[in-house]
Chain A
Amino acid sequence: DAGVIQSPRHEVTEMGQEVTLRCKPISGHNSLFWYRQTMMRGLELLIYFNNNVPIDDSGMPEDRFSAKMPNASFSTLKIQPSEPRDSAVYFCASSRGGGLEQYFGPGTRLTVT
């Protein structure tokens, strides 16, 4: 079975540009999570969905960040406009829910210049 798929793997963009990160969870998993990892702040949960519904977005830094999950097999995280401080590795993870383990995608390394 395929793991969590993220695209792109690397993204370099200029400040002010819109960035869209994509995630395909493992088939059959009903929970999806977006994380951000930086040296300074470690691994931060941004938002998570259960059955395509956002449950907790308290980790989303500000209004420039938005996430959607239009169906069970696809989610996006959008940053508009991007800023240099958004540079990080963004991970998507999925699970079957109910306290079960999360499986992580390979991450998207975002660099905003």
Chain B
Amino acid sequence: AQKVTQAQTEISVVEKEDVTLDCVYETRDTTYYLFWYKQPPSGELVFLIRRNSFDEQNEISGRYSWNFQKSTSSFNFTITASQVVDSAVYFCALSHNFNKFYFGSGTKLNVKP
């Protein structure tokens, strides 16, 4: 069975705090892909990152970083020095070669000034 769990429904932080969004996945396949998307209040879904199951290297992009650990089936997302513009719902997703995405339920991040 394929499943993505985002246990944190909503997180509130104050600007400049670091925040980590958790994502735990389930799959029996050895080849799979993990994604993060951002959905700001305006409503569109914005692609942030894609990782494949053979690449466990952590990735950093500006204030964003991602920690992929196959041993714990987790793909966590950290925002360093959060800003108000980071306020959004963040979705983690799992896919295989067959294209179908399995989305988590999302984590709503509120960054307060």
Contacts and interface: CB of A to CB of B under 8 A. Distances in A.
Interface in A92-110: 93, 95, 97-107, 109
Contacts of A31: 99
Contacts of B66: none
A42 B103 contact: yes
A102 B97 contact: no
B55 interface: no
Interface string A71-113: 0000000000000000001010101011111111111010000
Interface string B37-61: 1000001111100101000000000
A104 B44 contact: yes
B103 to A, nearest CB: 5
A15 interface: no
A102 B102 CA distance: 12
Given A43-B91, A104-B44, A107-B44, A99 B33 contact: yes
Contacts of B98: 55
A111 to B, nearest CB: 14
A74 B33 CA distance: 27
A102 B103 contact: no
Contact of A95 (B37, B44, B45, B99): B99
B99 A50 contact: yes
A45 interface: yes
Contact of B35 (A45, A55, A56, A101): A101
Contacts of B47: 101-104
B44 to A, nearest CB: 5
B52 to A, nearest CB: 7
Interface of A: 31, 33, 42-43, 45, 48, 50, 55-56, 89, 91, 93, 95, 97-107, 109
14 contacts: A31-B99, A42-B105, A48-B99, A50-B99, A97-B99, A98-B97, A99-B33, A99-B97, A100-B50, A101-B50, A104-B46, A105-B44, A106-B43, A106-B44
